[in-house]
Structures are given as structure tokens and as C-alpha cells.
């Protein structure tokens, strides 16, 4: 049995038609939401809004342990940021020193290479002279 596209469209339209909710549906949903909010009430230790801090660090409302926790977390963040900055600077300095040493070694190798070429050319000249002198002596 083949169904056409219109049949599928009509079935979907029928299945997705709007229906009025049963009596008392809204009240049951609101009651259940209220129960869930009570059951899932956040722990003041981790939720500054429920601790009454209103965006302030260490507010006078709320548990004292929360204020101490927030101050400790802030201090730990600052220490971590400073330590990270110091480490980053040390790595930059070490990299710069390494690049400077590389440049000095490269320069030294170029100087040594030019000196070796100069010595080699002088040795070649010395080897060429005796053959010139030997030819002139035999004539």
C-alpha cells in the first residue's frame, strides 16, 4: 500500500495539531517546579547569589566559610598569574640568550671558515711556486 506525500503531510498535521491541556495541568506543573527548586537548592558554599553576597567579596551575609573560600580562591588566582608571568619572562630571557649564543657561534664559524680559506689559498700558492721555479731552473 503506497501512501502519497499528501497522506504523510495530513498524518503529521493530525499528530501535531494543537490540543487544550487537561484540567489542572498548569497547577501540577507549577507545583512540580516548586518542588524541584526546593530539592535542587544550591549550596551557599558554591553559589554567591544564594549566600547573599550580591557580587561583593566576603559579604556580611552568608556563611563565613564562603567569604574565606572566595578570598582564598582570589589569592590563589593572583599567585598563579604572577608565577606564570615570572616563568614566561624567564623562558623569554632564556630564548633570547640562546639566540644570541647562536648568532655568536655562527659569526665565529664564518670567521674560522674565512681564515681557513685564506690558509688554504696560501698553501696552494706555496705548492705552485716550486713547480714554477723548477721549470725555470731546468731551462
Give the start-to-end residue ranges of the domains of the chain: 26-138
The set of cell numbers assigned to 29 is 506543573
Q: Are 30 and 22 in contact (CB under 8 A)?
A: no
Q: If pLDDT is split at 50, 70 and 90, which confidence band does 16 have?
A: confident
Model pLDDT for residues 18-73, shown as the tens digit of each residue: 888 889 988 998 888 888 777 776 666 555 555 555 545 444 455 567 788 888 99
pLDDT value of position 48: 56
Model pLDDT for residues 100-121, shown as the tens digit of each residue: 999 999 999 999 999 999 999 9
Alpha helix positions (H), the chain? 5-15, 25-39, 64-138
CA of 96: how far to CAs of 89, 91, 100, 109, in Å? 10, 9, 6, 20
pTM equals 0.38
Amino acid at each position: 500500500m503506497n501512501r502519497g506525500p499528501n497522506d504523510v503531510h495530513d498524518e503529521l498535521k493530525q499528530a501535531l495539531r494543537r490540543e487544550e491541556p487537561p484540567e489542572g495541568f498548569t497547577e501540577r506543573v507549577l507545583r512540580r517546579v516548586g518542588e524541584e527548586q526546593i530539592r535542587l537548592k544550591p549550596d551557599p558554599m558554591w553559589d554567591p547569589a544564594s549566600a547573599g553576597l550580591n557580587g561583593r567579596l566576603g559579604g556580611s551575609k552568608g556563611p563565613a566559610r564562603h567569604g574565606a573560600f572566595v578570598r582564598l580562591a582570589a589569592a590563589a588566582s593572583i599567585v598563579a598569574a604572577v608565577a606564570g608571568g615570572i616563568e614566561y619572562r624567564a623562558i623569554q630571557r632564556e630564548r633570547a640568550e640562546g639566540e644570541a649564543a647562536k648568532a655568536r657561534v655562527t659569526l665565529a664559524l664564518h670567521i674560522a671558515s674565512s681564515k681557513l680559506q685564506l690558509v688554504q689559498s696560501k698553501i696552494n700558492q706555496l705548492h705552485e711556486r716550486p713547480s714554477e721555479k723548477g721549470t725555470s731552473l731546468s731551462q
